[in-house]
Structure 1
Amino acid sequence: MELNEDVLADVRKRLRRAQGQVGGVIQMIEEGRDCRDVIIQLAAVSRALDRAGFRLIASGLEQCVTDKSEKGAADREQLEKLFLTLA
């Protein structure tokens, strides 16, 4: 996949943030923190991952599924399937 370096940098930043949040959730569980607090943080992790995925979609999902044999025409069904994977 060849996406703009700014997009990739943003996605990496989002994924690193989510990685840190997952570590925080694990620590919260180990410390016996309140269930509501853990769930709130899990929701934040989920949103961070969703945003990273949607950023990729917005920036060039077509490149991921382009069939070179058809002169760059992306298959609409494949695009929908990848989009719904994140939805």
Structure 2
Amino acid sequence: MQIPAPITQDVQRRIARAEGQLRGIQAMLADERDCRDVVAQLTAVERAIHRARLRLLTAGIRYCAQDPALGEDADEFEALLLRSS
């Protein structure tokens, strides 16, 4: 099943942002920054990845709901959603 390009582009931007945050965290660790600052950034990365995953899953569910012929895909996305929570 194909997800519309604007949604995949949004997810790619979110992932790229998370990659940048991870590189920043590596630098923070190398610079021996305060643990609280590092944990705060790790939490931000975790939220960014979570939002990217939700964006993709909700788009897939919405796409399946628009086309009843894709019912099997809807079941698959429901299973993915349950596994990802």
Normalising TM by the smaller chain, what interval? 0.7 to 0.9
Aligned positions of 1:28-39 closer than 5 A? 28-39=28-39
Aligned to 2:25: 25
Which amino acid in the other structure matches residue 82 of structure 2?
A: L
Q: Deviations over 1:22-49 (max 9, x none)?
A: 0011110111000000000000000000
Which runs of 5 or more structure 2 residues have no equivalent in the other structure? 64-68
State the Cα distance separating 1:83 from its structure 2 match: 1.0
Higher helix fraction (1 or 2): 2
Contact 1:62–1:74 (CA under 8 A) maintained in structure 2: no
Aligned length: 81
Aligned match of 2:81? 83
Q: Is this contact kept in 2: 1:3–1:59, CA < 8 A?
A: yes
Whether contact under 8 Å (1:28, 1:38) holds in the other structure is yes
Secondary structure of the residue aligned to 1:72 is helix
Coordinate RMSD, CA, aligned? 2.2
Q: Distance in 1 between matches of 2:6 and 2:74?
A: 26
Instruction: Look up the match of 1:68.
Output: none
Q: Which whole-Å CA distance do the structure 2 matches of 1:42 and 1:57 have between them?
A: 23
Identity of aligned residues (%): 39
SS of equivalent to 2:47:
helix
Partner amino acid, structure 1, of 2:3: L
Unmatched 5+ stretches in structure 1: 64-70
